[in-house]
């Protein structure tokens, strides 16, 4: 580990599971009994706006009842103390990384606490209910939608992510099933750039075979232990 300088950390719903937020594809997952394309697509927003807005209003409200867990806190601690480059790329739309204190991070699939105006494209902080038809602060139209990247839409900040992966010496993937691209392909991009790749997950993901190492267990146990190892190696280097 001594020659690790630049780290990319990819997180998915599994890192927030122990905070009480449901994952998508596990037992009693958010998608259980629903088809993803009946909610998380531009077509669904156009044909059943109330269903889509209510789905995200419920998830936005749930944020008030949960908090960061030991895995979020460990990553924030690493962010504050890691001397090299570090970028946390989360697929999650919750704010638990930020509430744990992470700074060097981005949401590639958008955020529950942000609204996107369908009329003018303005992104703005939002913590209410969209079903009430709030107006855009920039243009005044009431075409706000969840600032969530739907299936078929381009994730945010892909250039920044790809640059970080090309420069990375280590990619760590935490709590993601590897079911959705482009995030599921980051491990191949990192390996192509010569990085080590580590997976910390409750179960093997769809892409486990591409990782140099996979450790199975809960994020709240695996992530603090990994962060402790990384900082110890940085000190001894």
Q: Which residues contact 8 (CB under 8 A, 6 or more apart)?
A: 86, 87, 89, 161, 164, 165, 168, 170, 171, 172, 186, 190, 195
Q: ω before 182 within 30° of 0 (cis)?
A: yes
Write out the two tokens for 82.
């890691």
| Binders in 91-150 for ligand APR, by CB under 6 A | 91, 109
- Binding residue (CB under 6 A) for ligand APR from 29, 42, 101, 134: 29
Rule CB under 6 A: say whether 224 interacts with ligand APR.
Answer: no
Rounded to whole angstroms, how far apart are CA atoms 77 and 75?
5
Part of the chain binding ligand APR (CB under 6 A), chosen from 50-58, 111-119, 157-165, 198-206: 198-206
Size of the chain in residues:
237
Query: Which of residues 79 and 94 has its CB atom nearest to ligand APR in the complex?
Result: 94
Rule CB under 6 A: say whether 69 interacts with ligand APR.
Answer: no
Rounded to whole angstroms, how far apart are CA atoms 138 and 186?
35
Phi-psi region of 20 (alpha: psi -120 to 50; beta: other; left: phi over 0): left
**Residues 5, 169 contacting (CB under 8 angstroms):** yes
Part of the chain binding ligand APR (CB under 6 A), chosen from 17-25, 47-55, 97-105, 125-133: 17-25
- Binding residue (CB under 6 A) for ligand APR from 19, 173, 201, 214: 201
- Binding residue (CB under 6 A) for ligand APR from 8, 17, 168, 189: 17
Catalytic status, residue 97: no
Q: How far is the CB of 61 from ligand APR (least distance, A)?
A: 19
Smallest CA-to-CA distance from 19 within 71, 81, 85 is with 71
- Binding residue (CB under 6 A) for ligand APR from 8, 9, 13, 171: 13
Task: State how beta strands 110-117 and 123-125 pair.
Answer: antiparallel
Total of chain residues touching ligand APR, rule CB under 6 A: 23
* Given the residues 72, 97, 107, 109, the one annotated as active site: 109
- Binding residue (CB under 6 A) for ligand APR from 10, 219, 227, 230: 219
Query: Which residues contact ligand APR (rule: CB under 6 A)?
Result: 12-14, 17-18, 23-26, 29, 91, 109, 175-177, 179-180, 201-203, 205, 218-219
Residues with catalytic roles? 109
């Amino acid at each position: 580990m001594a020659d690790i300088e630049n780290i990319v950390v990819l997180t998915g719903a599994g890192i927030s599971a122990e905070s009480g937020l449901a994952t998508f594809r596990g037992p009693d997952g958010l998608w259980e009994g629903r088809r993803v394309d009946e909610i998380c697509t531009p077509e669904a927003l156009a044909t059943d706006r109330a269903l889509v807005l209510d789905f995200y209003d419920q998830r936005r409200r749930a944020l008030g009842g949960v908090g960061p867990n030991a895995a979020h806190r460990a990553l924030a601690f690493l962010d504050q103390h890691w001397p090299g480059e570090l970028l946390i790329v989360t697929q999650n739309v919750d704010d638990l990384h930020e509430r744990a204190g992470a700074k060097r991070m981005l949401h590639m699939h958008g955020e529950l606490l942000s609204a996107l105006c369908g009329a003018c494209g303005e992104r703005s902080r939002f913590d209410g209910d969209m079903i009430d038809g709030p107006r855009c602060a920039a243009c005044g139209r009431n075409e706000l939608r969840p600032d969530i990247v739907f299936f078929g839409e381009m994730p945010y900040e892909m250039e920044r992510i790809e640059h970080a992966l090309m420069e990375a010496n280590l990619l760590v993937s935490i709590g993601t099933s590897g079911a959705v691209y482009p995030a599921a392909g980051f491990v191949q991009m990192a390996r192509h750039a010569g990085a080590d790749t580590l997976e910390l997950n409750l179960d093997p993901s769809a892409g486990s075979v591409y990782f140099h190492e996979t450790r199975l267990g809960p994020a709240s146990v695996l992530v603090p232990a990994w962060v402790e190892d990384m900082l110890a190696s940085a000190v001894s280097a």
